[in-house]
Amino acid sequence: MSSSQNASASHAGFEQSETFAPLSAGRLLLLGGIALILIGMIFGDIFAVFVLHQNAARVGASLSNAAYAALAGDSAAVLMNFQDVRAFLENRGTKVDTHVHMIAFGYLALMLSLLGPWIALSANTKKRLAWVFLCGAGLLPICVFLIHYVGLAHSPLKAIGWASIFADLGGLLVMVAVLWYLAGLGKYFFAAERSAPRSDLPADASPSGNLLLAGGVFLVLLGFLHGGYYAAVDLYRHEALDYSILLQISSGATTQSAAAVQSGLAEYGQLQGDKAVKIAAHSHIIEFGLLSMLLAFFQPYVNLHERWKRRWALVLLLGSVLLPICVLLELKYGLLAGGLADVGGLLVIVALLAMWIGVLRYTGQLDAGGAT
Amino acid sequence: MSGARQLLLAGGIALAVWGMGYGLWYAVFAEHQALEQIGASLATGFGGAAERNSALSEGAFQQYRQAKYVYDRQVDVHGHWIGLAVVLIVLGIGLDRLAFSERIKMILSVSALLGSFLFPLGVLLQTLDRGNGPRALTVLGSALVIGAFGTFALGIARKSACAPQ
């Protein structure tokens, strides 16, 4: 496509975008949604590099100490080490939750933006709900992250700290906004006379959009097949091993066989690693596929040259394949595969950032042109 | 709005609400107890080993195995119902990009929606009955989802191949 054709296509896009006015719900949810996904992914990468492995090592060390305490017949030390495991797991759990919730809210924002034309609410109500949603979607992950650090300090409650209270408030804001949007969608579905939605965005099929959609569907399908394979081949074997290895460690401790405890602990570490990488690969490939499908629908709003849009789509798909495959190979190739997985994550982040900038350029051009 | 799109959007949203409702119930009434049981049985198992009491240790690990089996499936069901619902909604939005007739789109949508409900249901039923029935339901549900999704992929690829570059 030549640049003049590209410009006229973009101009046609501006004329269509009645749902994309300055500070409209569609624009807020699209920009906010991509920003949430970006921040969630960057946080996930930082967490993977600086926290995840160190934390897993600490959990493993505490479990190992508990097993050796059992070997030495020291019940008090066993309990103490399990308390340490609990603290390490809480630290890890809150960080995983921050990463997961931020990205999930980003996906939800993109979907709400796409469903906008079918939501029978006034533009003002949609805009206010978009702000409520984004405030909640930001508040919840930040406060979940703080739970481990704030603890119960100055809390009026015995078991729940201030960070948890504000995280719940964030969740409530998101729920209120989503339920309100759903009511609007229901109103549209059950209306006696339905007007056709004014945006024809999902029907727009640019080459980059087609590439992202077909690639995304392929990734999700690959994830489904991998999940089916995991359930059929690994799931029950892993569950049986989990029990038998723990029993082996405990029998070794009871019979005071240090060698049995040691080999059991090594096998247990291997098993947990094998489980973690397979589940991570399954969930990441599906999530990236879904992200790619969602972004396919927004390509008309990415104000970049079609050639660059295609390049960024390819970069996103390449990263989306590289990360799960390298995660799967981590047990065999260690840090090399881990490093390549991080590069895959970085490619997705860079491509997403480029598309976000493209959308920002679009909104800038839209506002300068005075359309809608 | 076509019937197939309406089915995927309404069905996907209903499934997401169902999955969230289940998650809420689970978080309030079951998760905390399950985690307590898993942690306590592990500690008791190692404590029993420290006291050289293999019967206590074995019993505790057996409890851990049961609790973990149920916990893993209950959490997976929550995630899969909502995840599949999101996939259904996204497919519903992009249904126009499928190179199939309305009738085939409807059949695929029914198959995808039915599979998305039955697959996690089969997993959940495995916590109540370890027999072949729930497993068969899980396999049937996942086959419906994978079959429908594979055909969706084919339809999108066909349409993309026909689209002007």
- Model confidence over A245-283: pLDDT tens digits? 999 999 999 888 999 999 999 998 889 889 989 999 999
Residues A223, A367: one domain? Answer: yes
Within-domain flag for A348: yes
Interchain proximity B149–A224, CB inside 8 Å: yes
Interchain proximity B65–A242, CB inside 8 Å: yes
Within-domain flag for A302: yes
Is B117 in contact with B141 (CB distance < 8 Å)? yes
Picking from A190, A216, A236, the residue at the C-terminal end of a domain is A190
Domain that holds residue A37: 19-190
- Is B161 exposed, middle or buried, given 0-12, 13-18 or 19+ CB atoms closer than 10 A? exposed
Residues A153, A219: one domain? Answer: no
Within-domain flag for A12: no
Residues A141, A90: one domain? Answer: yes
Residues A279, A353: one domain? Answer: yes
What is the spatial distance between Cα B82 and Cα B14, in angstroms, rounded to a whole number?
10
A23: left (phi over 0), alpha (psi -120 to 50) or beta: left
Residues A163, A210: one domain? Answer: no
Residues A138, A243: one domain? Answer: no
Interchain proximity A70–B46, CB inside 8 Å: yes
Residue A24 has pLDDT above 60, yes or no: yes
**Pick from A85, A82, A35: which is nearest to A58 by CA?**
A85
Within-domain flag for A236: yes
Within-domain flag for A2: no
Interchain proximity B96–A203, CB inside 8 Å: yes
Out of A291-305, A312-326, B16-30, B39-53, least confident range = B16-30
Contacts of B165 in chain A (CB under 8 A): 207
Within its chain, how far is the Cα of A73 from the centroid? 44
Out of A66-70, A103-107, A143-147, B161-165, least confident range = B161-165
Closest chain B C-alpha to A63 CA, distance in angstroms: 10
Read off the pTM.
0.85
Is A117 in contact with B93 (CB distance < 8 Å)? no
If one compares B163 and A109, the residue with the highest pLDDT of the two is: A109
Per-residue model confidence as pLDDT tens digits over A214-232: 899 999 999 999 999 999 9
Interchain proximity A73–B52, CB inside 8 Å: yes
Per-residue model confidence as pLDDT tens digits over A30-87: 999 999 999 999 998 888 778 877 887 888 888 888 899 998 988 888 888 888 877 7
Say how many domains are in chain A: 2
Closest CB to B83 among A203, A253, A286: A286
Residues A84, A153: one domain? Answer: yes
> Residue A369 to residues A123, A304, B1, B18, B162: CA-CA distances in angstroms?
21, 17, 32, 44, 34
Interchain proximity B90–A290, CB inside 8 Å: yes
Picking from A190, A224, A239, the residue at the C-terminal end of a domain is A190
Closest CB to A221 among B46, B97, B150: B150
- Interfacial A residues in 334-363 facing B (CB < 8 Å): none
Residues A183, A62: one domain? Answer: yes
Interchain proximity A207–B1, CB inside 8 Å: no
Contacts of B73 in chain A (CB under 8 A): none
Residues A222, A144: one domain? Answer: no
Q: Judge if ipTM > 0.85.
A: yes
The token duo for A328 is 């799967």
Per-residue model confidence as pLDDT tens digits over A332-364: 888 899 889 989 999 999 999 999 999 999 888
The residue of B93, B100, B140, B151 whose CB has the most chain A CBs within 10 angstroms, and thus the best one to mutate to test that interface, is B93
B91: closest chain A residue by CA = A293
Per-residue model confidence as pLDDT tens digits over B127-157: 999 889 999 999 999 999 999 999 998 888 8
Residues A322, A263: one domain? Answer: yes
Number of A to B CB contacts under 8 A, please give it: 142
The residue of A164, A244, A254 whose CB has the most chain B CBs within 10 angstroms, and thus the best one to mutate to test that interface, is A254
Closest chain B C-alpha to A346 CA, distance in angstroms: 24
Per-residue confidence band for A149, with pLDDT thresholds at 50, 70 and 90: confident
Closest CB to B142 among A107, A228, A243: A228
Q: Residue A294 sits in a domain of what CATH number?
A: 1.20.120
Residues A50, A156: one domain? Answer: yes
Within-domain flag for A245: yes
> Residue A363 to residues A301, A356, A358, A368, B156: CA-CA distances in angstroms?
8, 11, 9, 8, 29
Report yes or no: A37 at the B interface, CB cutoff 8 Å.
no
Picking from A160, A190, A220, the residue at the C-terminal end of a domain is A190
Within-domain flag for A213: yes
A217: closest chain B residue by CA = B153
Interchain proximity A251–B68, CB inside 8 Å: no
The percentage of chain A sitting over the pLDDT mark of 90, rounded to a whole number, equals: 48
Residues A231, A182: one domain? Answer: no
Closest chain B C-alpha to A336 CA, distance in angstroms: 30
Per-residue confidence band for A8, with pLDDT thresholds at 50, 70 and 90: very low
Closest chain B C-alpha to A147 CA, distance in angstroms: 17
Within-domain flag for A126: yes
